[in-house]
Each structure stands twice: as structure tokens, then as C-alpha cells.
Structure 1
């Protein structure tokens, strides 16, 4: 069976079951795992599926995929972005890291930094930075979201308002073609907005998969940020828009040049 016949059936199976796996599809179609991985990559590139560890799911516009799946999704790209981000963070500053697997990757790259004060509403970030004895870790209050260790709500926002951070690093769930930074949880969006208001310098870390996704709640525009770190060229005219906004763009990766 050619891929032109497999693709519609793969999409039908994803709609029916919520997720498809590489092994399950290979057995179903009687083809190799490599063939199915190529099919899923092509469907993901066209925006019809979203790759997760071991398979794919339908892209979601109203709810996020599971946190463990997100942690594995594009993990190499997130690590490259995190390294580029950490290189922009000097020692001896105050920093905020919000909820997300990309900001967790940044936290891992900060284990060698010294004299940091890091505030976060992400329990996973706090647990990572415990391993750095030269880092003071402050955790906001708030309601614990068990699915991802996030602290959200009015108490988290009020805690953030007591500080003025040198740098804030945020992640997001989606980025649209107009440059709007999007997320799924309105309470989390409120916390992210507060963080951006309370920082002298603001950075967004987001891999290329966020270009193909949608989410209903708006955090801010790229025009309001100082630096955007990603792993692929921006779609459409967003690159040109960033230059007009004076938002610095860094495309991270082993073979990619950083540029403004």
C-alpha cells in the first residue's frame, strides 16, 4: 500500500483512538517501522498530526497533550535551545523560569551557573536546580497542577508581583503567524503575563512544533519580548516582523548560526 493510501487511514485511526503508535501502524499495514516513522513525519510536517514518543496524536487547539509526551517531544531541539538560552544568562542575576518542558531544559543548563537567584512556579524546575549549590531557589505559592507540577492562580501571580527580575524565561504551547504567544490554561497565562511585566529582560524558548499548533489563550506578542530562541526558521513573514519589532531571534542548533 502506498503512502497516499496509508495517510488517510492513519488519520482516521488517530481520530478514532486519540493516538497512533509506530509499532501498531507497522503491524497494521505490514510495512517497516522506518516507513511508518516517515509517514508520521510527513503528516506532522503538514500539520495534520503531532509527533509524540513512539507515535503521533492529533494536533489540539483547545487542550494540551500529556506532560510526559511533551517532555519527550523534540527533546534534542529543546536541549539545543536551552544551551543557547543559558549562554545568554550571566552569573550573579535574578531569574524567573515558568512552567514547561522547555524551561525545564533551560534549568538543566544552569546547573553550572553561580550566584543565581531563580524564582519559579514550576516544581520540576525547582527540583532540577536543587542540584546547584550556588543557586538560591524560590518557589511561588499557588494551586498545584498535578499533571505537570505547575503552580498557578492568584497566589502565584501575587508572589511574582513582589519581585523585579533581571531576566524572565518563558515557554508557550503555540505561536501563531501574527507572532502571538499562546497557551491553554488561562490561569497559567495570567502568571506568565505577570512574569513579563516584572522582568527587565524577557526571553521566549519554543521549538518549531509550536509553529504548527494552536491554543486559545493569548500571553503576549513577540513584539513585547527582547529575545526569541527556537530551532528552525520562522514561518511566513514572522522573521521580518521580529526585525521590525526589534525582537532578537536566535535559531539554535549544532549547524545553525545565531543571528539577530
Structure 2
């Protein structure tokens, strides 16, 4: 198994079991202890795991994992989620795409759309969509978060409030059993809340890893969104809220 495949699997195991040990990973992945130790060191350097004697544990729930690690986590599922989401976005409408690796995947799936006006606070999305001459892209401005190309702060929210979006596609860092959408950065949450307030339809993209994580800052609840795109059935209470509030759930 290559490093590209191994590291996301190690993260999946860590999220499922709360920690990983070198001996256990050697058994599961069929590689040498030296290879596992190198993988764990790299994941620790990326902020995805904290190294401990004999293995690694998940980092604090008050800090997000590194951007590169997030991009690798459940990558195939994110592409499927993005494709399902993009297929429901019509041509000739105004949309917002916010910060996140899954929303970046949505942008990639919009490269054949026409007549879109896309507003974003994600520099990576702007770069992706620059390849489509039939899409007009407006970047929000704001303070640059160098770790992931996100733009946050009052400049971002001020521009967002000048628009009315047909659809906003948002992500979150965690989705708990009660349906609360959570994140790590208070400034990013403020931007997400402004986006939701200015949108006729709010769509959440969230792969299964979000059900296993914790984050300290509340964005809102699934009751506040119109559609959810995911790759695993929602937690029971969360699913019940969606039914009560007619939130459409698309499972890929």
C-alpha cells in the first residue's frame, strides 16, 4: 500500500478507535514498523495526529488538522459528494462556495457549467474556476488564512451581505449527533453564518469523518439547511431533525 493510500487509512483508524499504535498498524497495513513510524511522524508534522509513545492520538478538539491531511481524508468520498452536489446546481445562477476541501471538489465539478456567478472566500476555488470562461468569479476579500487559502474577517462578511445567493454550498469541520454544524475558527464561523443568511438555499457537504470529530464553535444546525450531501447515513437524532424540517439528504 502506497503512502498516499496508507496515511488516510491511518487517520480513519485513529478516528474510529481514538488512537493508533505502531504494532496494530503493522498488523492491519502489512508494512514495517519503520514505515509506520515515518507515516506517524509525517501526520504529526501535518497536525493530523499527536505522537505518543508507541503510536499516536487524535489532536485536541480545539484545533483543526492540517490542510493537506484534510485533503487526503476520505478523498474518494468527497469527489462523489461533490459530483452529486454539482449535478443539482443549475446553469445561470448565483452561488457561494466557502472554505473547505469538499467545496473545492465541488468547484472542480463545475468546470463544465455555464452562466454561473460564483462568489467565494476560498482562493483555491477561485483558481480552480478560473479555468472555466463561462463562470464569473468574485473573491470576497478579507484576511488570508495561509494554511488553506481561506479569506475571513469583516471584509469578507461585508461583501457577502451585498449579495443574495440562489444556492450556497458550505462545509463544516464536525457534525454532531444533535445536528449542530461545528468549526474551529470563530472568524470562519461568522463568515459561514453571513453566507447562510444571504442564501435562498443552503446546502451542506459533509463526508463521514465529520460525524466522528469534535470542534468548539457552532455554525448552526441541520435544521437551518435545505440539503445535505454525504456518504454515510446521518446519526439518528440528526436524521430525525432533517425529516422534521424537510431537509433533503443525498447519500452517495
TM-score by length of 1: 0.78
Deviations 1:2-35 (A, max 9, x none): xxxxxxxx9xxx9xxxx979xxx36x98646348
Q: How many angstroms does 1:237 deviate by?
A: 2.6
Instruction: Tell me the equivalent position of 2:133.
Output: 133
CA, structure 1 residues 174+116, in 2 after alignment: closer, same or farther (shift >3 Å)?
same
Q: Give the match for residue 182 of structure 1.
A: 182
**Cα distance change on mapping 1:151 and 1:51 into 2, 3 Å:** closer
2:48–2:69 Cα contact (<8 Å) kept: no
Deviations 1:188-222 (A, max 9, x none): 00000000000111100000100011111011110
Query: Aligned partners of 2:225 and 2:25: how far apart in 1?
Result: 47
Q: Which segments of 5 or more consecutive residues in structure 1 lack a partner in the other structure?
A: 1-9, 41-49, 253-260
**Which residue number corresponds to residue 210 of structure 2?**
210
Q: Deviations over 1:90-148 (max 9, x none)?
A: 00001100000010000000001001110000000001001111000000010000000
Deviations 1:156-215 (A, max 9, x none): 000100000110000000001110100000000000000000011110000010001111
Structure 2: distance between partners of 1:207 and 1:149: 21
Q: Could you tell me whether the CA contact under 8 Å between 1:104 and 1:125 is conserved in 2? A: yes
* Counterpart residue number, 2:231: 231
Which residue number in structure 1 is paired with residue 165 of structure 2? Answer: 165
Matching residue of 1:3: none
The root-mean-square deviation of aligned C-alpha atoms, in Å, is 2.6
Whole-Å separation in 2 of the counterparts to 1:29 and 1:114: 47
Number of positions where the alignment pairs a residue of Structure 1 with one of Structure 2: 218
Give the conservation status (yes or no) of the 8 Å contact 1:51–1:57.
no
Q: Which runs of 5+ in 2 are unaligned?
A: 1-9, 37-46, 50-54
In the alignment, what sits opposite 1:33? Answer: 29
Equivalent residue number for residue 256 of structure 1: none
What secondary structure, in the 3-state scheme, does the structure 2 residue paired with 1:237 have? helix
TM-score norm. by structure 2 comes to 0.80
- Tell me if structure 2 keeps the 8 A contact 1:51–1:73: no
Instruction: Call closer, same or farther: CA 1:159–1:60 in 2, change over 3 Å.
Output: same
- Answer whether contact 1:152 1:188 (CA < 8 A) is retained: yes
Superposed CA offset, 1:195-252 (max 9, x none)? 0000111100000100011111011110011001100011233212210111111111
Is the Cα contact below 8 Å between 1:165 and 1:199 reproduced in 2?
Answer: yes
User: Secondary structure of 1:84's partner?
Assistant: helix
